[in-house]
Structure 1
Amino acid sequence: MKQRAPLVVANWKLNGGTDLMCASVASFVKKRFKAAIGIAPPYVYISDMVSFLRNSNIMVGSQNVSKFASGAFTGETSAQMLKEVGCGFCLIGHSERRQVFLENDASCHTKIERALAAGLMPILCVGENSQQHELGLTHDILYRQLHQALDGVSLQGQRLCIAYEPVWAIGTGKAASAAQVQEVHEYIRQELGAILGAGVAGQVDILYGGSVKKDNAAELLAMPNVDGLLVGGASLDPDHFAEICAIANELAPHQEAQ
C-alpha cells in the first residue's frame, strides 16, 4: 500500500460550460474522498467551480498561469490572482501549451517560481512526442525539461507535482503500457533526486497523463512510481471521471479523507 493518497486531476482544456460544471458537481454530491481530486476548468468557470465545491474536499485549479506577476500583459492571469479566487494548483507546460503557444522550459521555470510564491501547487507537465519516442530520446527530452524547469527551484516545504504526458498518447487512444509508464516515472524520480535531493524528490507526486480511462486507471495506479493521474478527454464525462476517482479511492491508504 502506498503511503500517499493518489491524486487525480481533470483537465477540461477548452471544453465545458455550465452544464458540465453542474453535472460534474452532481456526480460528487455527498461524497468524500481519501484520494485527492482536482478539477481544472477554463478560466472563466474557476470562481463558479470553487463556489460549487466549497463544501467538498475537491481542489480547483488552473490550466495555466502567467509568467508575469503584474503589468501591461493583456489576457494574462497571475498566480496571485488564481490563488485569490480559490485555486489550489495550476498546470504548467502542458504539451499543448508548448506546441501551440510555443512555451519553453525557461518560461516553465519562471511559472513554477510564480506559483510557489503565491502558494499554488505547480503541476509541471513533461513528455516526448512521437518522433522523439520512436528515436529512443525519451530520457533525453525529460532530462532537459526537468532540469531547465526545476534547477534552482526551492520548494521550502511546498508541494510540487510532475505529470508525465507522452505526447504520442494524448487524445490518440494509445496509452503507454503500465510497464512503460513505470520505467519512465522511475527515471523522473531519479532525476528529481539529482535536482531537488532524494528526500524532497520522494515527496513529489508523479502523475501519468495520456489517454487515461477507467479501463486502465487501476493498472496504472498500481505501479510503484505512479502517484496519480492527469485525465483529459475522459474527464468531460462526469460519470466516467467519477469512476476513475472511485478506483483511485479504493487504492488510497485507509485513513481519514484529506
Structure 2
Amino acid sequence: MRTPCFIANWKMNKTIAEAREYLQAVEKRWPQLPGAPWETIVAPPFTMLAPMADFLKERPLQIGLAGQNVHFEERGAYTGEVSPLMLRDAGCRHVIIGHSERRTYFGETNALIHKKIGGALRAGLIPILCVGETREEREEEKTGEVIERQIREALDDLRPGPSDWIIAYEPVWAIGTGLTPQPSEAEEVHRRIRDFFRSLSKEEEADTPRILYGGSATEKNIAAFMEEADIDGVLAGGASLFAESFCNMIDLGVKAKEK
C-alpha cells in the first residue's frame, strides 16, 4: 500500500512567529492523529524554512519541509532565485515544481520545469510535480492529453524511480475557486496518470509515484477523495493555513484510506 501523503502549501502567507504558533498547535494535536503510516509535508515561504527546520529538530513531529519553487542551477548570478542546494541546506527534502500559479503568473513552461526537476534530483531533493488542465481544456475534453504532455515533457530524458518524486493533480480551474471535481472524476484522472506511468515501464503492475489531489481540498471533502483507490493524498492550499483544519484533514484522510 502506498503511504498517504498530506502537503500544506502555505503559498505567500505567514511570518516566522505565525509558523511557530502553527507548529505548536500541530504538536498539541499530534498524539491524537492516526497511528497508521502516513506522511506530512509543509511548504512555507523561503524565509521560514531554516527556522522551522530548527524548531522541528527539537520536537517529535514527523513533518517534512518543501520549497515552493527552485532554480535549476546550484549557484550563479540569478538574483532572487533559490537553488536546490540552498533548499537542502535549509532543511528541505522536497520541492514543489510546476505549480499552476507558477505556470500561469510567471510563465513557466514544461521545458523549464524539466530543467528544475533535473536540478532537484541532482541535489537529492524529491520533486512534487504539479499537473492539471484549465477550464477551457477540460471543456474541450483535453484533460488527459494535456496532463500526459506535461508529464512527458517534464520528464524528457529523466527517469526517476517511483519513490524519487510525487505527482500532484491540480485542476487549474479548481485552485482557490471552491470548485472541485467529483471524487470519481478526480479518480479517473489519477488512474489515467498511473496507467501512463505503467505504460512507460511497459509493466501493468509496475510501481508508480504517489499521486495526490490538489484543488480546493478541505476537511469537508477530503474523506470522499481519499476513499478513491488511486488518490494517495492531497496538496492543500488555503485549508492548510489553519493548524486545526490541516490536522483534521490528516485524521479524516488516513481513516478514509484505511476503509
Cα distance change on mapping 1:219 and 1:24 into 2, 3 Å = same
Q: 1:166 aligns with which of 167, 171, 189?
A: 171
Report the equivalent of 1:127: 132
Whole-Å separation in 2 of the counterparts to 1:197 and 1:86: 36
**Secondary structure at the counterpart of residue 181 of structure 2:** coil
Q: Do the aligned partners of 2:162 and 2:208 also contact (CA within 8 Å) in 1? A: no
**Secondary structure at the counterpart of residue 29 of structure 1:** helix
RMSD: 2.0
Q: Do the aligned partners of 1:11 and 1:39 also contact (CA within 8 Å) in 2? A: yes
Report the equivalent of 1:16: 14
1:180 equivalenced with 2:185 (yes/no): yes
Deviations 1:220-255 (A, max 9, x none): 0111110110000001111111110112333466xx
Partner AA of 1:250 in structure 2:
K
Partner AA of 1:21 in structure 2:
A
Q: Give the count of matched residue pairs.
A: 252
Report the equivalent of 1:256: none
Deviations 1:86-130 (A, max 9, x none): 101000000000000000101111111111111111000000011
Q: Which has the higher contact order (CA 8 A, sep 6+)?
A: 1
Whole-Å separation in 1 of the counterparts to 2:79 and 2:185: 41
1:79 equivalenced with 2:77 (yes/no): no
What displacement does 1:23 show?
Answer: 2.8
Q: 2:63 aligns with which of 20, 33, 58?
A: 58
Whole-Å separation in 2 of the counterparts to 1:53 and 1:153: 32
Q: Do the aligned partners of 1:90 and 1:115 also contact (CA within 8 Å) in 2? A: yes
**Secondary structure at the counterpart of residue 215 of structure 1:** coil
Whole-Å separation in 1 of the counterparts to 2:257 and 2:124: 25
Cα distance change on mapping 1:191 and 1:118 into 2, 3 Å = same
1:44 equivalenced with 2:42 (yes/no): no
Q: Do the aligned partners of 2:226 and 2:257 also contact (CA within 8 Å) in 1? A: no
Between 1:243-252 and 1:145-154, the stretch displaced more is: 243-252
Q: Tell me the TM-score normalized by structure 2.
A: 0.91
Partner AA of 2:245 in structure 1:
H
**Secondary structure at the counterpart of residue 130 of structure 2:** strand
Whole-Å separation in 1 of the counterparts to 2:22 and 2:205: 34
**Secondary structure at the counterpart of residue 40 of structure 2:** strand
Whole-Å separation in 1 of the counterparts to 2:105 and 2:141: 24
Q: Do the aligned partners of 1:41 and 1:61 also contact (CA within 8 Å) in 2? A: yes
Whole-Å separation in 2 of the counterparts to 1:16 and 1:200: 42
Structure 1 unaligned residues grouped into runs of 5+: 254-258
Between 1:8-17 and 1:189-198, the stretch displaced more is: 189-198
What displacement does 1:158 show?
Answer: 4.7
Report the equivalent of 1:100: 105
1:154 equivalenced with 2:159 (yes/no): yes
Whole-Å separation in 1 of the counterparts to 2:24 and 2:71: 31
Q: Do the aligned partners of 2:194 and 2:208 also contact (CA within 8 Å) in 1? A: no
Whole-Å separation in 2 of the counterparts to 1:200 and 1:10: 30
What displacement does 1:203 show?
Answer: 3.4
What displacement does 1:18 show?
Answer: 2.8
**Secondary structure at the counterpart of residue 3 of structure 2:** coil
Deviations 1:3-23 (A, max 9, x none): 122100000001111343123
Q: Tell me the TM-score normalized by structure 1.
A: 0.91
